[in-house]
Structure 1
Amino acid sequence: MGPSSTAALPDAAPDAEDVLLTRHGRAAHLTLNRPRALNALTHAMVRRIDEALTAWEHDPKVETVVLTGAGDRGLCAGGDIRAIHEDARSGGTASADFWRDEYRLNARIARWSKPYVAVMDGIVMGGGVGISAHGNVRIVTERSQVAMPETGIGFVPDVGGTYLLSRAPGELGTHLALTGTPVGAADAILCGLADHYVPSSQLPALIAELVSTPVREALPRHTHQTPPPGELAAHREWIDHCYAADTVEEIMDRLLTSGIQEAKETAETILTKSPTSLKVTLKAMRRARELPTLEEVLTQEYRISCATLTSPDLVEGIRAQVVDKDREPRWAPGTLGEVEDGVVERFFETGGGQELGFPEGAARA
């Protein structure tokens, strides 16, 4: 692959092997390297990536950054939610500190001035979306499964997910935010979560070519194939109608009375999610549409995320889905009707140091 170098890279930390940093020719490479944990992000990994971007931003030898995940299962399954579970149970601040750095990294990636090639092969969820879908060159394959599944663990889409999904065509983003449904390559491109389709078998050749060739020249040689057909376009009519309702309860009513089997099945999926998370997510999505910059949306998400640390559903959702794996969360409250408006509003309150400190007027590049 030509000459390689680790010059100008951050000094290796004890857990630096969780993010491998290399440079081959004109391309610098970030490899998330926790394949047994599906490359789930830790705070140290976020800091390592940020430090690498700082070094490469000012290195004239680095023309392109390429992000991949180790192993054959996916780029990244999200943040380390077991660590978040323990932090929430203990009343700690580690999760808030992690999110602050993670969300600022998401914004930095969106503003990155050089080509940032995110290889979204396999599973890409939650925090994995945050470090890839804000990039300026986003590649999906026939194996891609892209999702923001937070409502299923008593959380709310974050890492700029409500920014991206609120800007998807029609109400497709609302559908994905509430259900957490994974989408393949064609639907990821349709929803604005990715740009290009490259068959997984061609990824090694593309990455090797970036060592000596600019992205604008190399990419067209590998993007001439059509991705496998998606599913969302065929369901746009009922999705747009049902999710245009003002409340989650109204959305559910439209889904259940539409007479469409897929809509009814979707309602059954939504009923398994945290009622509080569903209501907060819908409000966050609607507000994100009106916020002009990614930074402003991330600031809103940070307030919401910090508020979830004191919500019983986050601990319970992670317990049911990840720790005990009984898949039977006991949400509190247990129904949509029991979630009071005042409770939802609490997630959007300002103050308490829950700010990200972006420069006023900062905008997505």
Structure 2
Amino acid sequence: MKSEDAVDDTVLLAVEGRTGLITLNRPKALNALTHPMVLRIDEALLTWERDPAVDQVLIRGAGERGLCAGGDIRAIHDDAKAGTSASADFWRDEYRLNARIARFRKPYVALMDGIVMGGGVGVSAHGSVRVVTERSRVAMPETGIGFVPDVGGTYLLGRAPGQLGTHLALTGAAVGAADALLCGLADHFVPADRLPELTAALAGSPAHEVLPRFAGTPAPGELAGRRDWIDRCYAADTVEEIVERLLTEGDPAAKETAETILAKSPTSLKVTLAAVRRARGLGPLEQVLVQEYRVSCHALRAPDLVEGVRAQVVDKDRDPRWSPPALADVSDEDVERFFARLGPDRELRLPSTAEAAH
């Protein structure tokens, strides 16, 4: 691979020293991922994994606003309205990339600076060396647009301590550096102004030698002090019970959390709770991605995804009209439909999931 390759400038690839550099380069769009970007990153990783001249990989975002705000949800909205398969094709390659990152045989350093949401979590939090800064805002905000956490998000959140992952999945709340570390979404804190120096140092030395010189302790987060009521409330069996426990907890933050949840898509909330809990028992990431692919494809044909993106991104009236509008109106059968097999020709196939979970 050339030291600099700009055939497609939405992803810049370079090799500095013995480190392969991936720069997501759509700063005006908060480096949101497109299908060509996913394919380009995947190709680079495949090449660098086999290249003895490359010892490690680093991924970062152009600009100062964030690594990546997620996938291009306007495109997904348009696809859902048109009834085409472009989003399913995108997710298939995106989830394959997430799996490749997770099993990458060389250090994969992700600079999770600024906004890191949805697909941005997918290209970073599965890496082996995950760095957050005081500017980091890490989230899986899908329930707010009528969708369900994907890109391995249910795998990551299902493995967070206690019920923290369930809390983040249902609320879509963004967390800072300390809470990202607590939840297992990141490994190291480095001040944002030291990232250029860190990147330069990585060009000449392995990540495990370099990071101790830069890593520090972030400012305290919020979740550690809320673990008691989070673990107690989110241990309930249903979303309705979780909300009821939050409302009667007596802590203003718990009541505010309940109100946050009640503003989300009722269908997405129930499917998300089921997805996170099922993910805990599925085993490796690949099995969870198979489940997420089924859920995502079914969500593409459900009404709330189009409506959620319309309200939050297209019209920006912030007033989604969910269908059905209340948690009580979403049946167990409605939820189960999101987990149904897609058929032999449409299932996601990954190396360790050729015979996927039934």
TM-score, normalised by the number of residues in structure 1: 0.95
Q: CA RMSD in A?
A: 1.2
Q: Is the 8 A contact 1:303 1:354 kept in 2?
A: no
**Is the aligned partner of 1:66 residue 2:62?**
no
Equivalent in the alignment of 1:303? 294
The residue type equivalent to 1:341 in the other structure is D
How many residue pairs get matched? 353
The 1:218/1:286 distance shift into structure 2, 3 A limit, reads same
The residue type equivalent to 2:293 in the other structure is Y
What is the CA–CA distance in structure 1 between the aligned matches of 2:122 and 2:257, rounded to whole Å? 25
Q: Is the 8 A contact 2:286 2:352 kept in 1?
A: no
Runs of 4+ aligned residues of structure 1 deviating over 2 Å after TM superposition are 351-354, 359-362
Q: How far has the Cα of 1:359 moved from its partner? A: 3.0
Aligned positions of 1:206-245 closer than 5 A: 206-223=198-215, 225-245=216-236
Q: How far has the Cα of 1:214 moved from its partner? A: 1.3
**Is the aligned partner of 1:203 residue 2:199?**
no
What is the CA–CA distance in structure 2 between the aligned matches of 1:207 and 1:12, rounded to whole Å? 20
Equivalent in the alignment of 2:47? 55
| CA displacement 1:160-201 (0-9 Å, x = unmatched) | 000000000000000000000000000001000000000001
**Is the aligned partner of 1:255 residue 2:251?**
no
Q: Secondary structure at the match of 2:9?
A: helix
| CA displacement 1:313-350 (0-9 Å, x = unmatched) | 00000000000000000000000001111111000001
What is the CA–CA distance in structure 2 between the aligned matches of 1:125 and 1:29, rounded to whole Å? 21
What is the CA–CA distance in structure 2 between the aligned matches of 1:356 and 1:333, rounded to whole Å? 29
Which residue of 117, 120, 126 corresponds with 2:112? 120
Q: Is the 8 A contact 1:302 1:354 kept in 2?
A: no
The residue type equivalent to 1:134 in the other structure is H
| CA displacement 1:31-53 (0-9 Å, x = unmatched) | 00000000000000000000111
Q: Secondary structure at the match of 1:326?
A: coil
What is the CA–CA distance in structure 2 between the aligned matches of 1:226 and 1:310, rounded to whole Å? 44
What is the CA–CA distance in structure 2 between the aligned matches of 1:360 and 1:264, rounded to whole Å? 43
Q: How far has the Cα of 1:351 moved from its partner? A: 2.9
Identical positions, percent: 71
Q: Is the 8 A contact 1:160 1:298 kept in 2?
A: yes
The residue type equivalent to 2:14 in the other structure is T
TM-score, normalised by the number of residues in structure 2: 0.97
5+ long unaligned stretches in structure 1: none
Which residue of 73, 91, 95 corresponds with 1:99? 91
What is the CA–CA distance in structure 2 between the aligned matches of 1:271 and 1:354, rounded to whole Å? 33
Equivalent in the alignment of 2:2? 6
Which residue of 123, 128, 133 corresponds with 1:131? 123
Equivalent in the alignment of 1:347? 338
What is the CA–CA distance in structure 2 between the aligned matches of 1:81 and 1:227, rounded to whole Å? 31
Aligned positions of 1:240-319 closer than 5 A: 240-319=231-310
Q: How far has the Cα of 1:355 moved from its partner? A: 1.6
What is the CA–CA distance in structure 1 between the aligned matches of 2:14 and 2:232, rounded to whole Å? 48
